[in-house]
Amino acid sequence: MSKIVCIDAGHGGSDSGAVNKSRYEKYEALKLANILRGELLKQGITVIMTRTEDKYVSLNERTKIANENKADLFISIHRNAFTNDTAYGVENWIYAKTDADTERYAHGIMDELEAVGIQSHRGVKRGNFHVTRETKMPACLLELGFITNSKDNELFDRKIYLYAKAIAKAICSHLGVWVKANEIVNENDCSDGACCQLYRVQIGAYRDVENANRIAVELKEKGYPAIVV
């Protein structure tokens, strides 16, 4: 049976979360959550979302959704905030009285995020957030950089697909699910998800098949995987 992951995009609707000028935590959490959902679906994981649009969902409803759907793992996506721009980096919260398995899960996410590049690893922290306390499965609340720090925001915007892939990879490895075609590629290819697409480059159209074949041979000699269609 396929594994079930509950993704909780923090805040929503009348609850904006942290705001910095035109940036709203509720939108950024949902954006990352939706990309993460896609990455997990690619791995054959069943994904439950606590919200898929900009609407208010109470904390009780969020944990009820995760528990009633018997999720194997839960992740709540947030962005952090501070009164000025001096705080930066990523931290991952688990419930204070949680077990070693949850701690491993939270560290796994941080390790994969660190591997694709974050400004600072602020640690796996123990606290008393409702969503990590009331969920019956390993749960974490990820603060993916500070919305009040410009470098964190720049990283979030540029690496959002990489971050989603990194989190998906950590989730899959915790669940023992094989990570199919989820190799993390050059960050520069990935700010708009372009790494997930294939582009076809056409070099010319030839009336004569001999000419086409000759060009293809030349290209292959130069190391391009040319084909004649």
Binding residues for Zn ion (CB under 5 A): 10, 17, 78
* 36 exposure class (CB count in 10 Å sphere: 0-12, 13-18, 19+): buried
Nearer Cβ to Zn ion (11/174): 11
Chain centroid offset of residue 139 CA: 16
Nearer Cβ to Zn ion (93/161): 93
Nearer Cβ to Zn ion (129/169): 129
Cα 205 to Cα 208: distance, rounded to the nearest angstrom: 9
CB-based closest residue to Zn ion = 78
Nearer Cβ to Zn ion (10/12): 10
CB of 29 to Zn ion, least distance (A): 7
Active-site annotation, residues = 143
CB of 15 to Zn ion, least distance (A): 9
Phi, psi (degrees; rounded to nearest 5) at 100: -65, -30
CB of 161 to Zn ion, least distance (A): 21
Token pair belonging to 101: 């398995």
Q: Which residues contact 4 (CB under 8 A, 6 or more apart)?
A: 45, 46, 47, 48, 69, 70, 71, 72
Going from the C-alpha of 98 to that of each of 20, 103, 132, the distances in angstroms are 33, 7, 9
CB of 217 to Zn ion, least distance (A): 58
Cα 182 to Cα 177: distance, rounded to the nearest angstrom: 12
